[in-house]
Amino acid sequence: MIPMILDAAPRWALLHAPALLIMVPLFLAPLLAILPSGRLSWLTSIFATAFSLFCALILVAQVQVSTGGVVGYDVGRWPVPIGITLRVDALNSMILLLVSAIGVLATIFSWPTVKAEIPERKHPLFYSAFLVCFAGLCGVAITGDAFNLFVFLEISSISTYVLVALGAGRDRRALPAAFNYLIMGTLGASFYIIGVGFLYSATGTLNIAQIAEMLPGLAGNRSVEAGFAFIIVGLGLKAAVWPLHQWLPNAYAYSPSFVTMFLSATATKVALYALIRYLFTVFRPEFAFEQATFTYLLMPLGLAAMIACSFQAVFQTDVRRTLAYSSVAQVGYMILGISVGTMAGVSAGLFHLLNHAMIKGALFMAVAGVVLTFQGTTIRDFAGLGRTAPWTMTGFAIAGLSLIGVPLTAGFQSKLQLGYALFDQGMWWAVVFVVFSSFLAVIYMGRIMEAIFFRPPINPRKSRKEAPILLLVPLWVLALANIYFGITTELPLGLARDAAAAAFGLEAF
Amino acid sequence: MSSELLIWAALCLPLLIAAGIAITGTFSNVREGVTLVGATILFGVVIALASQVAGGDTPSMYVGQVAPGLDLAFKLEPLGALFALVASGLWIVNSFYSIGYMRGNRERNQTRFYICFAIAIFGAMGVAMSANLFTLFVFYEVLTLSTYPLVAHKGDAAAKRGGRIYLLTLLGTSIGLFLMALMWTWALAGQNLDFVQGGLLAGLNLDPAVATALLILFAFGIGKAALMPFHFWLPNAMVAPTPVSALLHAVAVVKAGVFTVMKVSIYIFGEELLNATPGREFVLGVACFTIIVASLVAMTKDNLKARLAYSTIAQLSYITLGAMLATQAGFMGGALQIAAHAVGKMTLFMCAGAIYVATGLTNISDMRGLGRKMPLVFIAFFIATLSIIGIPPMAGAWAKYELMQGAIDRGTHFVPWVLIGSSLLNIAYLLPIPILALMPVPGTPEPKPFKRPGGAPFFTVAAPVVTAGLCIVLFFLVGPLADFLSPAFETPVSPAFSGGQP
């Protein structure tokens, strides 16, 4: 497939794929704001995200055939110390592929929900904000410059605040949720930029690769260690690492359905990518303070997230909040994988990152379908939907089983990989936590699914049936992907392993 | 036909049958025809496979790699062939019985019932033929999930509660303990989960503590084997319609559990390592405890199905016990018990169902004197009871004999006493039922007339009579059966010993 992509793509695309991937959505965004019609802006967004997906595919292919596994791109032909460089290796090409693929599916699915939840005159502005957010997320993933990463992080965050706040049309609680997210997100970004400042003062460069080269010579430097601490906390906040996750449940529960779905599958994932980049490429696991971070900070936090947030998920009455808490718990799995500090651990974490994007994407799409047709998200509202909306709810159930980790689903595979990575290092006690958290997942997903399939409908409005076809198709694409990648993991596991190798600065697993 | 094609057929047929049932759902006669014809063809396929196994082949099929070190692959060895034969053969009998029972009781949602049944058989076939622990685990879960709608079939509060306990216990133990043991094995064996003759973990010099932990995780994680304290799902699952109890909770589901225990003991641990594992004696003790305690509990139950459920728990632990003896005779006894208990217990359940359809009675105390009106049912019940107790010439006798032999070989002298005690308890809680029904004490009031005009439907009487006959036939077939099974338990002879023979 790789030579096919490289043969089929035009020359200009091959040359400029890294830049085009972010520039097309970023420049189309202001254009959208002045478009007269919502439908037109929707179609343009599909085009923009699909174009980014195309570029991401080219990049994945280019990384695989390139020597050294790195595709570099100097913006404006300015060489490294002066200009900003875009740098793609197996790690971020995987993230780019994920974000853009989810972006396309999310955009296709968005139209019915946006039409129902956002006032009509705001449609073009809504899609404009979405494209900015999308470009920002891709930018975080693609850039090779520490300060530029901050810029893109802020671009994506600020547009996200807007998107979350637009949920006010449906539920006014979206406004405090957005404000809360704004404060927390800004804190996180500030911590990050302070950390970058420390690193800059110690190394004199902002290029990530150059910082990485110089750090081993700066062992014991206090400002490097302080910078590390600030960066980890800042990015941890963005990635919703427990206990810095407080912004997430409300933001997911009250924002428009489409935003919830898109953010859950991409936003925390991109922040996690940045975290991995700093933990493994810039700083290295060999550094003593980083080992200490793994053992005493990240692993306990990952475990705490898996248990505490799963418990919280069990006691929610709103399906979206259940899923939001579950997301924080799942981030805990990824953090746990990362904190093992071995290649197997990082690849398990990244593998789960991919799988979780598919799982949560599908789940939130199905919830969006329910919001659309039945205007409710409490578990009570879901009662009996298995009969009135079988297609939507079967998609939900498949993704839910995958979240639990039932065999032959993607979620099962990621648990196996994670378990292997842990047993490999003799951390059998951590597996106990994984297992216990899965058991909690059985309970919180079981509650919802029992309502869907076994309780009689109680809501009189339940005469309207399935979600619209535009919503069902992306939902089923993701649901079937959960099954397909549960049976053959060659593609995602290959990507995750290559990515983990790239994070360690190696060419292949 | 090539063996690969046969394995494909054995796996796909149940799914095709399920699809066929779904399509023909509205025409109940055609639907039942699909089940019966399909089940017969499946049995034929399994016989063809088993005859290849008997000829010394190991039919195998490789589907593909799920992830590095995790293969979806199938390989049939004698033990698996036995399980496949039992499950598919008894499915035919059970299908006839189901038709009589479900129609006689006018149950609802019959199409869903037959579809789930076929999928459950698919799971059992996969478990029987799996070539590695991963494949086995996958199908083990297919079996769990597909039988949940069957357990909760009635849909009332009690059925849902029973179904929920069933699902949560089986999923909880399998995810919580079994999966963990699987991952641990995977990591220990270097990303490998194949069933290896002589034991996958045998040559690894495992720390006895690690081996013990693994064994305990496996023994309790395989919740379908119903080792105490994870046995309570079984009595709760008895809310299911009787055909489900008969096939699934006497044959497919529970036997898949103990079959997995046997597979893990023989092919993951292997005789030698199992012997060197201190935890073996602990699990053996738990199995003995389960046998005695479950039998005692059975005595207190007046509901016939509940009593049979506790009896099943006790009888299943025979097989775990056989595996934990870790001798050839022990394994052989366990394997024979799989077959013998399957036919015996299925007969008992089907009799219970026939009584329920005809009279609506569920309590043993109401069945006195009923044998006069339903003689065939209670004679079949009587024969199956003798088989469960272990009296020749019934199949159960051989299993018990081999288990005692194994226990004596191993030198654990309390085990024969446990087995003898269990037989006595069997006599106490099972035998009075047919005896009092067939030969009521003078003065017992005449049983009430049948609730259903005409009594039990023909199929619900014929099916238990056939399986009761099988109980006797199996007793005389044990020679060929033992020859068939013995290659499964042989440890590969290591070169150091083989060179010395003249």
What's the pLDDT tens digit per position in A212-269? 888 888 777 888 888 888 999 999 988 888 888 888 888 888 888 888 889 888 888 9
User: Using CA atoms, how far apart are residues B107 and B103, in angstroms rounded to an integer?
Assistant: 7
**Does A493 sit within 8 Å of B184, measured CB to CB?**
no
Q: For the packed helices A11-33 and A123-142, what is the interaxial angle rounded to 10 degrees?
A: 140
Do B66 and A436 count as a contact with CB atoms less than 8 A apart?
Answer: no
Range of the domain at B354: 278-490
pTM reported for the whole predicted model: 0.83
Is B187 close to A423, i.e. CB distance below 8 A?
A: yes
pLDDT for the residue numbered A50: 92
Tokens matching residue B79: 């033990």
Check residue B500 and give its pLDDT. Answer: 37
Does the beta-carbon distance from A489 to B67 stay under 8 Å? Answer: yes
- Is B359 within 8 Å of B370 (Cβ atoms)? yes
> Which tokens is A463 given?
């005469």
Q: Which residues 285-304 in chain A show a CB within 8 A of chain B? A: none
Q: b/e string for B194-216 if b means 16 or more Cβ within 10 A?
A: bbbbbbbbbeeebeeeebbbbbb
Q: Within an 8 Å CB–CB cutoff, is residue B22 touching chain A?
A: no
DSSP label of A218: G
Whether A432 and chain B come into contact, CB under 8 Å, resolves to yes
- Looking at every residue in chain B, the average pLDDT score rounds to 83
Cα–Cα nearest to B129, from B292, B272, B8: B8
The angle subtended at Cα A219 by Cα A213 and Cα A222, nearest 5°, is 115
B19 and A CB contact within 8 Å:
no
Is residue B393 situated within a structural domain? yes
Residue A197 confidence class, pLDDT cut points 50, 70, 90: very high
Question: What pLDDT, on the 0 to 100 scale, is given for residue A464?
Answer: 60
In a domain, B339, yes or no: yes
Helix, strand, or coil (residue A465): coil
* Extended beta strands in B178-293, E state: none
* CB burial string B484-496: b at 16+ within 10 A, e below: bbeebbeeeeeee
Note whether residue B84 is domain-resident: no
Q: What is the pLDDT of residue A352?
A: 92
Q: Is A488 close to B145, i.e. CB distance below 8 A? A: no
Domain count, chain B: 1
Which candidate in B144, B179, B191 is best for mutational testing of the A interface (most A CBs within 10 A)?
B179
DSSP string covering A116-182, please?
HHS-GGGHHHHHHHHHHHHHHHHHHHHB-BHHHHHHHHHHHHHHHHHHHHGGGGT-TTHHHHHHHHH
| Mean pLDDT, rounded, for A348-377 | 88
pLDDT of amino acid B498:
39
User: B349 lies in a domain?
Assistant: yes
pLDDT tens-place string over residues B428-451: 888 888 888 888 888 777 777 777
Taking CB atoms and an 8 Å limit, are A423 and B64 in contact across chains? Answer: no
Cis omega (within 30 of 0) for bond into B68 = no
> Is the confidence at residue A440, as pLDDT, over 80?
yes
Contacts of residue A82, Cβ cutoff 8 Å, sequence gap at least 6: none
pLDDT at res. A150:
92
At residue B501, the pLDDT reads 39
Among B326, B337, B205, which residue's Cα sits nearest to residue B264? B326
Question: CB of B62 within 8 Å of any CB in chain A?
Answer: no
- The pLDDT-based confidence of A459 (bands split at 50, 70, 90) is low
Q: Which residues of A touch B130 (CB under 8 A)?
A: none
pLDDT band, very low/low/confident/very high, at A356 (cuts 50, 70, 90): very high
CB-based burial of residue B452 (10 Å sphere; 0-12 exposed, 13-18 middle, 19+ buried)? middle
Dmax over Cα atoms in chain B, in whole Å? Answer: 75
Residue of B141, B152, B187 with shortest CB distance to A424:
B187
| CA separation for the pair B345, B387 (Å, rounded) | 9
For residue A417, list chain B residues with Cβ-Cβ distance below 8 A.
67
Name which of A126, A131, A49 is nearest A474 in CA terms.
A49
Q: What is the pLDDT of residue B492?
A: 57
* pLDDT computed for residue B13 by the predictor: 87
Question: Which residues on A lie below 8 Å from B188 (Cβ)?
Answer: 423
Give chain A's end-to-end CA distance (angstroms, integer): 20
The alpha carbons of chain A give a radius of gyration, in whole angstroms, of 21
In this complex, is the C-beta atom of B176 within 8 Å of any C-beta atom belonging to chain A?
Answer: yes
> Looking at chain B, which residue has its C-alpha nearest residue A440?
B172
> Which member of B70, B142, B175 has the closest CB to residue A435?
B175
Task: Count other Cβ atoms within 10 Å, centred on residue A400.
Answer: 29
For residue B392, the distance in angstroms to the closest alpha carbon of chain A comes to 43
* B385 closest CA partner among B376, B396, B374: B396
- Nearest CB among B66, B176, B180 relative to A487 is that of B66
Q: Which of B137, B176, B186 sits opposite A420 (nearest CB)?
A: B186
Query: A416–B137: do the CB atoms touch at under 8 Å?
Result: no
- Residue B496 has what pLDDT? 42
Question: Taking a C-beta distance cutoff of 8 angstroms, is the pair B183, A407 a contact?
Answer: no
User: Rounded to whole angstroms, what are the CA distances from B408 to A103, B99, B322, B329, B411?
Assistant: 68, 45, 12, 10, 5
Of B290, B319, B295, B292, nearest to B307 (Cα)? B295
Min Cα separation A341/chain B (Å): 17
Residue B188 located in a structural domain: no
Task: Estimate to the nearest angstrom the gap between the alpha carbon of B232 and the chain centroid.
Answer: 17
d(CA A366, CA B294): 46
Q: Are B184 and A423 an interchain contact pair (Cβ–Cβ within 8 Å)? A: yes
Give me the pLDDT at residue B502, please. Answer: 38
The pLDDT score that the predictor gives to residue A223 is 86
What tens digit of pLDDT does each residue of A130-188 get? Answer: 999 999 999 999 988 889 999 999 999 999 998 998 888 778 888 898 999 999 999 99
Taking 50 as the pLDDT cut, the residues of chain B under it are 493-502
For the cut 70, the answer to whether the pLDDT of residue A507 exceeds it is no
| pLDDT(A5) > 80 | no
**DSSP string over B319-388:** HHHHHHHTSHHHHHHHHHHHHHHHHHHHHHHHHHHHHHHHH---BGGGGTTGGGTSHHHHHHHHHHHHHH
Q: Cβ B183–A420 below 8 Å, yes or no?
A: yes
Nearest to A287 by CA among A350, A241, A228, A205: A228
DSSP secondary structure of A33-82: HT-S-HHHHHHHHHHHHHHHHHHHHHHHHHHHHSGGGEEEEEGGG--TTT
Contact between A224 and A282 under an 8 Å Cβ cutoff? The reply is: no
Q: How far apart are CA A139 and CA A143, in angstroms?
A: 6
In angstroms, the CA B489 to CA B198 distance is 8
Residue B2 CB contacts under 8 Å (≥ 6 apart), including other chains: none
Distance between CA atoms of B365 and A92, rounded to whole angstroms?
Answer: 72
Residue B39 resides in a domain: no
Helices (H), B130-223: 133-151, 157-173, 179-188, 208-221
Minimal CA separation from B145 to chain A, in Å = 10
**Residue A136 has what pLDDT?**
93
Q: By CA distance, what is B160's nearest residue in A?
A: A454
DSSP lists the bridge partners of residue B132 as B194
Residue B474 lies in a domain: yes
Please list every residue in chain A whose beta carbon sits closer than 8 Å to the beta carbon of residue B160: 454
Residue of A nearest to B159 (CA): A454
pLDDT value for B433: 87
